[in-house]
Structure 1
Amino acid sequence: MERFFRSLKTEWVPTVGYRSFAEDQQEITRYIIGYYCQLRPHQYNGGLTPNESEQLYWENSKTVPILVDQM
């Protein structure tokens, strides 16, 4: 979590801050959804973005069969 906040502060938040709380919310949401998860590669994910890593996980995960009682 600390790494996330460091990235947010150094990559996105202006040094003078935001003009309003509403602008703050809008820009931080844009950072998380539009940049951090979609475009920014992460070393932990082997250079993939979080969205790419999650997609790969689900593509490679095995499904668990549903057992149905047969009467």
Structure 2
Amino acid sequence: APMERFFRSFKTEWMPKECYNNYEEAERDTLKYILQHYNTKRGHSYNNYLSPVVMEAAA
């Protein structure tokens, strides 16, 4: 279930509607989503809507 939720969020919040031109572009954008958005800015319900980075810093 967590991976399904992740990919649903990725597809609806980040992935371009016109898709990617090549594998490298998709890989670069996916890493950007994970490292610069999902882990640092996007709130998660199981963390009281804090990002994972903020939650770890508070622990």
TM-score by length of 1: 0.76
Match of 2:28 among 17, 20, 26: 26
The within-5 A match list for 1:41-56 is: 41-56=43-58
Deviation of 1:10 after TM superposition, in Å, equals: 0.3
Which has more radius of gyration?
A: 1
RCO (CA 8 Å, sep 6+): is it higher in 1 or 2? 2
- Pick the structure with more helix per residue: 2
Q: Structure 1, unaligned stretches of length 5 or more?
A: 58-71
Q: Structure 2, unaligned stretches of length 5 or more?
A: none
- Report the counterpart of residue 68 of structure 1 in structure 2: none
Deviation of 1:15 after TM superposition, in Å, equals: 1.4
> Structure 1 runs of 4+ off > 4 angstroms?
none
Q: Deviations over 1:32-70 (max 9, x none)?
A: 00000011111110010011111222xxxxxxxxxxxxx
State the identity as a percent.
42
TM-score by length of 2: 0.89
Number of equivalences = 57
Quote the RMSD (CA, aligned, Å).
Answer: 0.8
